[in-house]
Amino acid sequence: MQGQNLRLFIGEKVVAGATDCTVHIAATLEDSSTKDDTSGAPNQEFVGYTYDISSDSLFAVDGSIDMLSTMLAGQAVAFDFEQTNGDKNQVKVKSLVSGKVILNDASFKATNKQKATATFQGQGVGPLSINGKEIGSSAVVPGA
């Protein structure tokens, strides 16, 4: 699969002209070793996860300003990282990873004689859905 077959929606809008989209998920582990454990190796236990998203896009006046307004209002927005196909990759095949984020970082860049760009980042809030199935914050690791 190529990056052109993946797109990121924030709210109801596909991130306009996205050139790079990232969904980052990290497991949270806790040491559950006891004083009586003589193995010397730490006992790691899954206790949850954190996630965030980022997107570099060509600047779109309406979409970029809408996302900036949402960020400054502190509102959580839904995102959907989905697989696509069809003419211009506009047909959704399936949702890969979806959830909600609070946008917490935005930057805009306009270089002389180049396309203007916008970069957004968001921190995850609440559970993720992977392939349409909700994964709770303290759920068993998928595939384990």
DSSP string across 18-49: EEEEEEEEEEEEEE---TT--S-S--EEEEEE
Tell me the pLDDT of the chain averaged across its residues. Answer: 80
From residue 65, alpha-carbon distances to 33, 46, 73, 115 in Å are: 49, 39, 12, 16
CA nearest 57: which of 9, 113, 25? 9
**How large a percentage of the chain has pLDDT more than 90?**
23
Q: What is the pLDDT of residue 143?
A: 40
Q: What is the pLDDT of residue 16?
A: 56
pLDDT at 73 over 80: yes
Q: Which domains does the chain have, with CATH numbers?
A: 3-29+45-132 (2.30.110.20)
In the numeric block, the tokens 């206790």 are attached to 47
In the numeric block, the tokens 């303290």 are attached to 138
Is residue 31 within 8 A of residue 43, CB to CB? The reply is: yes
